[in-house]
Chains A and B, each alone.
Chain A
Amino acid sequence: MNLKVIAYVLSQLQFAVTLSLGVPFVMALYWGEACAMDFAGTMLISLGVGVALSNYGELEHDSLTIREGIAVTGIAWFIIPLLASLPFLAGHYLNPIDSIFEGVSGLTCTGASVIKDLDAVPRSIILWRSITHWVGGLGIIVIYIAMFPQAGSGAAKMFNAEGAGPTEMRVVPRMKSTANALLLMYVFFSVILTTLLLLCGTSLFDAVNLAMSAIATGGFATTNGSAADFHSLSVELVLIIFMLIGGGNFGLYFLAYKKGYKYIIRDTEFRVYLAIYGVITLLVALNLYDAMGWQPGEALRGAAFQISSIMTTTGLSTYNFDEWPAFSQFCIILVMLMGGCGGSTSGGMKVSRVIILWKMVGTIIQEKLHPNSIARVTMESQSQSSTVVYRVARFFFLYVMIALLAACAFNFDGLPVVDSILLGLSCMGNAGVAFGAAYTFYDLPDVTKLVCCLCMIIGRLEIFTFLAMLQPGFWKRNSNW
């Protein structure tokens, strides 16, 4: 494993991060806020790290090995959240652990905030949070590939390491074009959402931040009450639609844009995604109407927003669903586990994996009843090899196990059982919601917060990447063995 190449790539990423820090810095100056100095300081540190890395590193050969790709992705996703937390720390808004939590939560698009009172925080800090969402949503790696010229075939390894769903999805032949395409759709939707929100009557500041948060399916809001503070049906509708878009496969959108809209309609995963959304929303709405006695319209509105928010692992909320009946809460757990489509900005298991697992059960039944037949799982009329299918099954197992282990840790730390299970699942799926005692994250004990951060990163990197780095033989310098 070539450390120099890794250092070089990391340095490039650092420079990109420095650039993105520039935006809140400029805005802070514009608004005349004191935290501009904090941003300046952070930019300097980030620049320093970047320069140090680029001095050490050199691009010896164009292609990265799998190991190097994983190492780059893994290290990047540790260093950059740390840097992202510096502005919070520097301005003394949060203590160190809380800053790290906020930084990680931002970049992994979880959206769990430990800031007690958003009104007391300068706007540039709020802007910075949303920017971390936006950058982390599509993926640090993807943006890097799109923007920097010499990506090469090593890029594919990094792209896969960052987590893009169960199978490698390429829309156009070259990696760089794929990354470009994704970035294009991403920017396009962000801009449209901003304009629409403006039309609905929000301020420019709110529109930009909410748009970044919704498209990246992150969940940081600009006010303490999250999306509820707007009290506007149109805002909620717009947000629902764009959150659902954010939970869809961006590659698919690009494909539809190039080759026709029928591709979206034909895509099984997308159809299942919308169908599940529709069914669960109706069930929850019925439950709210029935058990809590809400009006039908209100129930539908509340259910639609909340389910779309959680299914796409965004985390914006309009009601305090802590008070909702158990059935709805279990529905929430269900969709949180499922997540959005593969290739989207949301987290969770991803709908395509769930479909594969479901079909796998079908093949097992088939093989049992007709022992001589060979049943295969097919997605989009392409049969999936059994290695892929069972890798997905193992992923599911590890996902649940890690969430449960985290839940045990939380429980031991003092959280009630149901809350800790939900917190564990929520962090793994980068949803950013929690029930009960964890509803407001800032009250959580410190160890719990740190474990949460770890889970968020593991979930974002889709487990295997992270676990691969833990293997003892991984960091051996000389060999590719």
Chain B
Amino acid sequence: MREQIEGSRAIAQTVARCRPQVVPAYPITPQTHIVEAVGAMVKAGTLTPCEFITVESEFAAMSAAIGASAAGARTYTATASQGLLYMAEALFNASGMGLPVVMTVANRAIGAPINIWNDHSDSMSQRDCGWIQLYAEDNQAAVGLHVIAFRLAEELSLPVMVCVDGFVLTHAVEPIEVPAADVVDGYLPPFHPRQVLDPDDPITIGAMVGPEAYTEVRYLAHHQLNRARDRMPELAEEYALASGYRVSALSKYRVDGARVVIVTLGSVSGTIKDALDEVDDSVGLVTITLYRPFPADEIRAALACADHVIVLERAFAPGAGGVVAADVGAALSGLPTRVSTVVAGLGGRAVTKASVRGVIDDAKADRLPSLSFLDLRTDVIDHELARQAEADRPGPQTQALLRTAGVPASRIG
């Protein structure tokens, strides 16, 4: 039944319907509403049997998840930003050991400077940790992706990260349909892993692997991750039939006949679609949902007719350029397609329809650089660079910048 509810609440209810048995939880903005809601359900007895553990750090959260999963429990947790980084070591450990943990990442910028608002720098920084990465376009997609995530994780014995834009989606109240319990039960069978800690059949998990076998183990992990590309469409189809809601690894909007195509991930896709509706048909949009493994063939096919691809991404690699753009560029290698990177929405700066139309205008007038930062305040930058040129002592730029950037609380948007 469709309800007007907060994204976090819908995700929590969905996760509860997936019947997790162990949920270690550590709070961090903006994921808190999710774990609080799950915790409340456990406390009230509506989600049972489930052990809700208030751990002392995100590192402990993922560690407890590893233990629980290895002992055969369906396991879930959620984090963001600094928390994701704090558990970085454990992320690699979970994927390396093939444990099907599902985790929501409420995308948030990484400090310094500390910033609680939405961008993709957190999950992008961990794109190579061996987890499957899914990015939700809106809250209805986030709901479906969580159900599919458990299925995908347990089938492939790989952990899955469902990335949901912090605040923008987690704290948005909109019409969302949480799948009914019987729909989820029909789609997600109970978790019975092949390998589990069991006194009746003792095994050793986590042995040390030397040079003679490490490469093969890692190759197999790569191979296994790639299998998600094949399984995702089938599992998504099955979910669509069961729930009436469709998600896909990649989605296309007005791409047919478009010479300029924007590629993006996450909630900004909605704003871009509205902007494209106000422009003529020569601009399209490809939204990536399955980012790891990277669906290179599908991307190449989707962008086949484009002369110019603009990757609009909410993260970047300092000193290098775009992150997603690099993957897209590699997927298009050999083709004459031009790829531009637009770094947008860092640290929660809104991506507006007007700005997107500006990018399109620049692209059409052939004045879009290969790397640009959307809505960059060049006056502030110029002022700071001039100031630095005069000053002769080293030191961070952040503090000085604030004086020029103005008081944020008084601004709209």
Task: Tell whether A pairs with B.
Answer: no
- Residue numbers of B with Cβ under 8 A of A are none
- Residue numbers of A with Cβ under 8 A of B are none
